[in-house]
């Protein structure tokens, strides 16, 4: 079992470019989350999903969109990247809210 | 607003004991988590407290006082591999996790 995987691991974008980050899980978990982690700050929730076909905004959703067409996949899109979106992005899953979350290895994104 | 405070950095000696504190002010409380994060890696779950008191798991213990909005993570018999950041996170009334910025623990031989 792979657990939670993320692609790509690293990416450099120019301002205004778009990209999609993919999170895949084989744990059969309902809940999936996208976080960003910046130096000196706690993990901040971007968007989350409580099941296939549903998504909701987190603390910092502006500039990002998500989709959960299949239970095992959660996609994070950046429509027009900005330098402020330079960060490490983590995907996480849990069986139900309030349980421990399992994290993917992260995607390090730099926007020039 | 919601706030979680932890020391930014701590240093300890191999074989010793260290206590990492976490204080919180959140909208409601449905439990407190501790995660470990090695540099360049993903956070991994260490412990969960929802009731007051001490939870022990091997070399690691976690304590919670809900009335004081306070928790600590106690690491015993420190090993070099314990060098990592330790993240405190609180589950608020909406079952959203609010994360602290983390405490970087440096272990010296």
Could you tell me the pLDDT band of residue A91, with boundaries at 50, 70 and 90? Answer: very high
For residue A27, pLDDT over 90 is answered with yes
Q: Any idea of the CA torsion for A57, A65, A34, A38, to the nearest 10 degrees?
A: -100
Interface test with B, best of A38, A43, A48 (most B CBs within 10 A): A43
pLDDT of residue A2 exceeding 90, the answer is no
All residues of chain B having their beta carbon less than 8 Å from the beta carbon of residue A45 are 96-97
Residues of A with CB under 8 A from a CB of B: 40-45, 58-59, 90, 97-98, 100-106
Q: Confirm or reject contact between B90 and chain A (CB < 8 A).
A: no
Residue A42 has its nearest CB partner, among B48, B95, B100, at B100
Chain A residues closer than 8 Å to B62 by CB? none
DSSP state of A26: -
Mean pLDDT of A53-66: 96
Q: Nearest residue on chain A to B32, judged by CA atoms?
A: A98
The kind and range of the H/E element at B79 are none
Above 80 in pLDDT, residue A98? no
Q: Is B68 left (phi over 0), alpha (psi -120 to 50) or beta?
A: alpha
pLDDT band at A82 (very low <50, low <70, confident <90, very high): very high
Does position A46 have pLDDT exceeding 90, yes or no? yes
* Confidence band of A106 (pLDDT split at 50, 70, 90): very high
Per-block average pLDDT, block size 10, for chain B (109 residues)? 93 98 95 97 96 96 97 98 98 92 97
Q: What pLDDT is attached to residue B95?
A: 87
* Averaged pLDDT of chain A: 95
User: Considering CB atoms only, which of B44, B96, B101 is closest to A42?
Assistant: B101
Three-state SS at A98: coil
Chain B: residue whose CA lies nearest to A6:
B42
In SS3 terms, A27-93 reads as CCCCEEEEEEECCCCCCEEEEEEEECCEEEECCCCCCEEEECCCCCEEEEEECCCCHHHCEEEEEEE
Is A106 in contact with B101 (Cβ distance < 8 A)? Answer: no
Query: What residue in B sits closest to A90 (Cα-Cα)?
Result: B42
- Backbone phi, psi, residue A77, to 5°: -115, 140
Q: What is the share, in percent, of chain A residues with pLDDT greater than 70? A: 100
Q: What pLDDT, on a 0 to 100 scale, did the predictor assign at position A1? A: 72
- What's the pLDDT at B4? 96
Q: What percent of chain A has pLDDT over 90?
A: 91
Q: How far apart are the first and last CA of chain B?
A: 40
Say what the pLDDT of residue A97 is. Answer: 75
């Amino acid at each position: 079992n792979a657990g939670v995987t993320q692609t790509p691991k690293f990416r450099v974008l120019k301002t205004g470019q778009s990209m999609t980050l993919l999170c895949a899980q084989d744990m059969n978990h309902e809940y999936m989350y996208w976080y960003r982690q910046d130096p000196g700050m706690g993990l901040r929730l971007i968007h989350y999903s409580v099941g296939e076909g549903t998504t909701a905004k987190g603390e910092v959703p502006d500039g990002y969109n998500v989709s959960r067409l299949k239970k095992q996949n959660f996609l994070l899109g950046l429509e027009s990247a900005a330098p402020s979106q330079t960060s490490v992005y983590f995907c996480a899953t849990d069986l139900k809210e309030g349980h421990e979350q399992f994290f993917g290895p992260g995607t390090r994104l730099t926007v020039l | 607003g919601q706030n979680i405070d932890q020391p930014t950095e701590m240093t300890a000696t191999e074989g010793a004991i260290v206590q990492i504190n976490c204080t919180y002010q959140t909208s409601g409380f449905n439990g407190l988590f501790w995660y470990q994060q090695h540099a360049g890696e993903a956070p991994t779950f260490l412990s969960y407290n929802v009731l007051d008191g001490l939870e022990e798991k091997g070399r690691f213990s976690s304590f919670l006082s809900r009335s004081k909005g306070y928790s600590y993570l106690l690491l015993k018999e420190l090993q070099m591999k314990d060098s990592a950041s330790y993240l405190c996170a609180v589950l608020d009334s909406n079952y959203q996790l609010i994360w602290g910025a983390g405490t970087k623990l440096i272990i010296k031989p």
